[in-house]
Amino acid sequence: MENYVAVKSRLLEQTDPNGHAVIGVDDAYTAAIHTRLAARGRAETVPVSVGKVLGRGIFAVDATLYDAWGSRASRIMDLTQAQHLPGAHNWQNAALAFAATKPFVRDARSIVQAIASFPGLAHRIEDVGRVGKVRFINDSKATNADAAERALVCFNDIFWIAGGRPKAGGIESLGAHFPRIRKAYLIGEAANEFARALEGRVAYEITGTLDQAVARAAADARACSLPAPVVLLSPACASFDQFRDFEARGDAFRDAVRNLAHPAVKEAS
């Protein structure tokens, strides 16, 4: 990790003196990089934070983006307008994007419009639609527990599809988010391991395959009394036991949801 941080710091040290470096300062590593580069004074440094008010810089607090770069803090936008960018990690992305593009844009309102209309990325907390009251989220790119956590914190009342080829550490680190999960549907090689981690904490069933998991999760979500349940594919595993890659897994999830929304009409025999 220290070597990784050193490499990133070295890149920022090469910023043109007339340019600016935008740095998230919410962890000790990046805060130290910002402090060091700001002290050098070679190029302007712009701190960015989520959850912390800055006297100078760009920050997001309570899902609201503020600009305090060179002037008193002013409210820029309500980040909940960006429906395809849920969660604090995406608010950080939006704040960094705002800071990076502001010097090149005459009217900051155009940046706000771009953030609000951003369609999101395929396979990363991708909203693939609704069937009745049930919302379906494709987070196939979450191939480990840390990535899956980013999705779990974005929703409540989750019917969670997880599993695949397991990685070191499993899902034990996700325990704090288990109360968000109404039921888990376990697939692939990790199914039994994940079942042991969930035992007595989260209701689950081992469905084996993704198509079966989607069908079972959708049926349970439709039947529940919750007003806005979410079926979330966020596997916390690699895909290679059943799919070519995470993209193929996400595409299969999308296809399964599409079939739920528009079931094929069977010809009469």
**Per-residue model confidence as pLDDT tens digits over 166-214:** 999 999 999 999 999 999 999 999 999 999 999 999 999 999 999 999 9
pLDDT grade for 242, boundaries at 50, 70 and 90: very high
Asked if the structure places residue 133 within a domain, the reply is yes
Per-residue pLDDT at 262: 83
Q: Do 105 and 161 share a domain, yes or no? A: no
Mean pLDDT for the chain overall = 95
Per-residue pLDDT at 267: 43
Asked if the structure places residue 107 within a domain, the reply is yes
Give me the percent of the chain exceeding a pLDDT of 70: 98
* 265: pLDDT strictly greater than 50: no
Per-residue pLDDT at 264: 61
Asked if the structure places residue 176 within a domain, the reply is yes
Give the mean pLDDT of 129-157.
Answer: 97
Burial zone of 152 (CB within 10 Å; 0-12 exposed, 13-18 middle, 19+ buried): buried
Per-residue pLDDT at 260: 94
Helix orientation angle between 246-261 and 210-223, rounded to the nearest 10 degrees: 40
Give the mean pLDDT of 253-258.
Answer: 97
Pairing of strands 204-208, 181-187: parallel
Q: Do 163 and 231 share a domain, yes or no? A: yes
Q: Do 67 and 180 share a domain, yes or no? A: no
pLDDT grade for 42, boundaries at 50, 70 and 90: confident
Asked if the structure places residue 267 within a domain, the reply is no
**What CATH number has the domain bearing residue 6?**
3.40.1190.10
* CB distance 103 to 19 below 8 Å: no
Q: Pick the closest to residue 129 from 84, 67, 74 (CA basis).
A: 84
User: For the chain, how many structural domains are there in total?
Assistant: 2
* 269: pLDDT strictly greater than 50: no
Measure the CA–CA gap between 209 and 216, rounded to whole angstroms: 11
Asked if the structure places residue 52 within a domain, the reply is yes
68-72, 95-99, 200-204, 240-244: range with lowest mean pLDDT: 68-72
Q: For Cα atoms 63, 43, 31, give the angle at the middle one, nearest 5 degrees.
A: 45
Q: Do 195 and 72 share a domain, yes or no? A: no
- Determine the structural domain holding residue 49 and report its residue range: 2-117
Count CB-CB contacts under 10 A for residue 198: 21
The tens digit of pLDDT for each residue in 82-108 reads: 999 999 999 999 999 999 999 999 999
Per-residue pLDDT at 266: 45
Asked if the structure places residue 269 within a domain, the reply is no
* 261: pLDDT strictly greater than 90: no
Per-residue pLDDT at 31: 96
**What CATH number has the domain bearing residue 168?**
3.90.190.20
End-to-end CA distance of the chain: give it in Å, rounded.
63
Give the mean pLDDT of 65-71.
Answer: 93
Q: Do 249 and 139 share a domain, yes or no? A: yes
